[in-house]
Amino acid sequence: MMNTNGASTSAGASASPSSSSATKKNSKKPKYSRFSQQELPACKPILTPGWVISTFIAVGIVFTPIGLASLFANEHVVEIMDRYDEDCIPGNYTTQRVSYIQSNETNKTCIRKLIVPKEMKSPVFIYYQLDDFYQNHRRYVKSRSDKQLRSKASEGDTDSCKPEDSASSSPIVPCGLIAWSLFNDTYRFSVKNKALRVSKKDIAWKSDQEHKFGSDVYPKNFQSGGLIGGANLNASIPLSEQEDLIVWMRTAALPSFRKLYGKIEVDLEADDELTVVIENNYNTYSFSGKKRLVLSTTSWIGGKNDFLGIAYLAVGGICLFFAISFILLYVVKPRWVNWVTS
């Protein structure tokens, strides 16, 4: 009996440390730190009526003048917009628009007359606007090779460009669907039978020219397949100098977007009749897209856009409304605080 009890006591003693170590090993208690125990110093502001009212008044006083200044600057921006994709289709092709735009034998020249509503100070920026064109489509956005665009040594890096990756067993430069679908409508302008020069200089971001497109990369096998997507490129000019391509390759986030085509560097007088000769080449008819020509001046806040000014005014007005409401509430029904002392 004594031996048995002794063995039992010995076994119990030996089991106790192992069970405690197992419990300690399986414990989910986090290691102590001031962060996990929420003991770090913190600031908890006390929102008194004075602080709340002052904050709303300050935001309203700052935002309202900015909104008014934005709307005032926006009123000085002169913009001409002309949708031409429907009117530039001949009458006998109204039901065969895709056949018309894809044919090499149809005359694509279209003449438009635009009236300048107000004096437009130079530079006058020329944009083309496309609607219902999803440049943000995942497969479209990925169909490019940034390595190939930057360096001639990566000319064969076209794995991400399919199906526009090669032609006649040779890589296409620049490859991919984005470059392949390059916008190819052209515009020529004249006023009073005098041609206006369109400048293509400095229409692309300098950062794109210097870092994303190589000066030693030249177009190769571009638009040489059976299906032509858009504009062609001059094979003797490096990609870093082809600014139309650089502008197009910066894909838009929304299905309606504008891209800079060029600049007119002379003033346009009010009531001038602007003659525009358009080569209507770009196929938006296959997907029911729309094309617009936009001429616009700019202000210190950019092009014509009411949204920013309206947003500032709305936020400023709402803050001032709340400030006045809280002041009236505080005056009519103040909140009393009873201090209890022991």
* The pLDDT of residue 338 is above 70: no
Model confidence pLDDT, tens digit, residues 4-37: 444 444 444 444 555 555 555 677 777 888 888 8
State yes or no: pLDDT of 246 exceeds 60: yes
What is the DSSP annotation of 143-185? ---HHHHH-GGGTT--GGGTTSSEETTEE-BS-SHHHHT----
Residue-wise pLDDT for 131-176, tens only, equals 999 999 999 999 999 999 999 999 989 999 988 888 888 999 999 9
Tens-digit pLDDT profile for residues 84-125: 999 999 988 988 999 999 988 999 999 999 999 999 999 999
User: H-helix or E-strand containing 127?
Assistant: strand 124-131
Q: Which two tokens stand for residue 341?
A: 């002392």
Structure tokens at 61: 């006083």
Asked whether 280 and 88 are in contact (CB, 8 A), the reply is yes
Say how far apart CA 99 and CA 43 lie, in whole Å: 69
Question: CA-to-CA distance for 182 and 248, rounded, in angstroms?
Answer: 7
Distance CA 182, CA 2 (A): 98
State both tokens at 187: 């515009």
DSSP H or E segment with residue 264: strand 257-264
Tokens of 176: 């991919």
Distance from first CA to last CA of the chain, Å, rounded? 69
265-270: list long-range contacts, CB under 8 Å, 24+ apart.
Answer: 265/122, 265/123, 265/124, 265/197, 265/199, 266/122, 266/124, 266/196, 267/119, 267/120, 267/121, 267/122, 268/116, 268/119, 268/120, 268/124, 268/191, 269/116, 269/119, 270/116, 270/117, 270/118, 270/119
pLDDT tens for each residue of 267-280: 999 999 999 999 99
Q: Answer whether 67's CB lies under 8 Å from 312's CB.
A: yes
Q: Is 115 left (phi over 0), alpha (psi -120 to 50) or beta?
A: beta
Cβ-proximal residues to 11 (8 Å cutoff; 6+ apart), any chain: none
- Spatial distance between the Cα atoms of 73 and 68, rounded to a whole number of angstroms: 9
In the chain, count H helices and then E strands.
Answer: 9, 11
Helix/strand/coil for 113:
strand
Measured CA to CA, the distance from residue 221 to residue 148 in angstroms comes to: 14
User: Structural domain boundaries of the chain?
Assistant: 48-77+301-332, 81-297
Range in 59-73, 195-209, 225-239, 283-297 with the lowest mean pLDDT: 225-239
DSSP string, 286-333: TTT-EEEEEEE--BTTBSS-SHHHHHHHHHHHHHHHHHHHHHHHHHHS
Query: Percent of the chain at pLDDT above 70?
Result: 90
Per-residue model confidence as pLDDT tens digits over 177-210: 999 999 999 999 999 999 999 999 999 999 999 9
Could you read off the pLDDT of 2-13 as tens digits, one per residue?
Answer: 454 444 444 444
